[in-house]
Amino acid sequence: MSDNIKGKVVIITGASSGIGEATAKLLASKGAKIVLGARRTDKLETIANEIKAAGGEAIYQELDVTVPAENEAIVKLAKDTYGKLDVIFLNAGLMPSSPISALKTNEWEQMVDVNVKGVLNGVAAVMPTFAEQKSGYVIATSSVAGLKAYPGGAVYCGTKWFVRSFMEVLRMESAMEGTNIRTATIYPAAINTELLNTISDKGSSEAFQALYDQYGISADRIAAVVEFAVSLPEDTTVNEFTVGPANQPW
């Protein structure tokens, strides 16, 4: 069904590494036009150049998902460059896990800003376009932490539960309003990305590193799920994907 991907314009947030980078390269190889957004423009430039060298199409722009105007700007860039927008993959996220008693309140705020407000800002930026054209696809990275709670994950789990709930209501309301906006929420387990680098709490960091060392699988596995979602016919949505290593009991 990769014919459904060819020519589609796709914005990817958190595109400078990990799941975002892997997805950008895979969708570009299937003929999608990729709009890369993240804070590290040097990384985005390298990825865009690699995509173009392989015969694909990609542009990039600095994007801090916590700033509404920057989300609006990357939507404008996509439309100005390619004339339309089909998909936004809301993939930016932070996971500085720690016990509540450690009171890492700055990290709590960061997670809410990126993991919650970043999703809200992205949806707000694309909604006028998607509603007007009566089509569009919102894909978001939640986490298995959005399906179950665990010690050390109080705030992170909370942000990912929010994504789960918000995306489900977006799906329902879009169906009711007849805007044909589809949603897909992805719940990855141990996927090898830079996510662990955001953990400052020593105990949490060591525990997660051991977990990922034992079970972690490639970000390409999530990219393949996004590819599948985007390839589906317009009248079909698979709105939730729980994905992880086959040998991880999580």
Tens digit of pLDDT per residue, the chain (250 long)? 558 999 999 999 999 999 999 999 999 999 999 999 999 999 999 999 999 999 999 999 999 999 999 999 999 999 999 999 999 999 999 999 999 999 999 999 999 999 999 999 999 999 999 999 999 999 999 999 999 999 999 999 999 999 999 999 999 999 999 999 999 999 999 999 888 888 999 999 999 999 999 999 999 999 999 999 999 999 999 999 999 999 998 7
Nearest alpha-carbon partner for 35 in 18, 113, 23: 23
Q: What angle do CA 215, 216, 220 make, to 5 degrees?
A: 140
Report the alpha-carbon distance of residue 115 to residue 39 in Å, rounded: 15
What contacts 24+ positions apart, CB below 8 Å, involve 20-23?
Answer: 20/89, 20/91, 20/92, 21/47, 21/219, 22/218, 22/219, 22/220, 22/222, 22/223, 23/89, 23/91, 23/222, 23/223, 23/226, 23/227
Q: How long is the chain? A: 250
pLDDT computed for residue 235 by the predictor? 94
Domain spans in the chain, listed from the N-terminal domain onward: 2-242
CATH class of 2-242: alpha beta
Query: Which among 60, 137, 156, 187 is annotated as catalytic?
Result: 156
pLDDT computed for residue 132 by the predictor? 96
SS3 37: strand
Answer yes or no: 187 catalytic.
Answer: no
pLDDT computed for residue 191 by the predictor? 92
What's the start-to-end Cα distance of the chain, in Å? Answer: 31
pLDDT computed for residue 250 by the predictor? 78
pLDDT computed for residue 9 by the predictor? 98
What's the one-letter identity of residue 146?
G
SS3 238: coil
pTM score, whole prediction: 0.96
90 and 117 Cβ atoms separated by less than 8 Å: no
pLDDT computed for residue 2 by the predictor? 59
pLDDT computed for residue 186 by the predictor? 98
31 and 43 Cβ atoms separated by less than 8 Å: no
15 and 60 Cβ atoms separated by less than 8 Å: yes
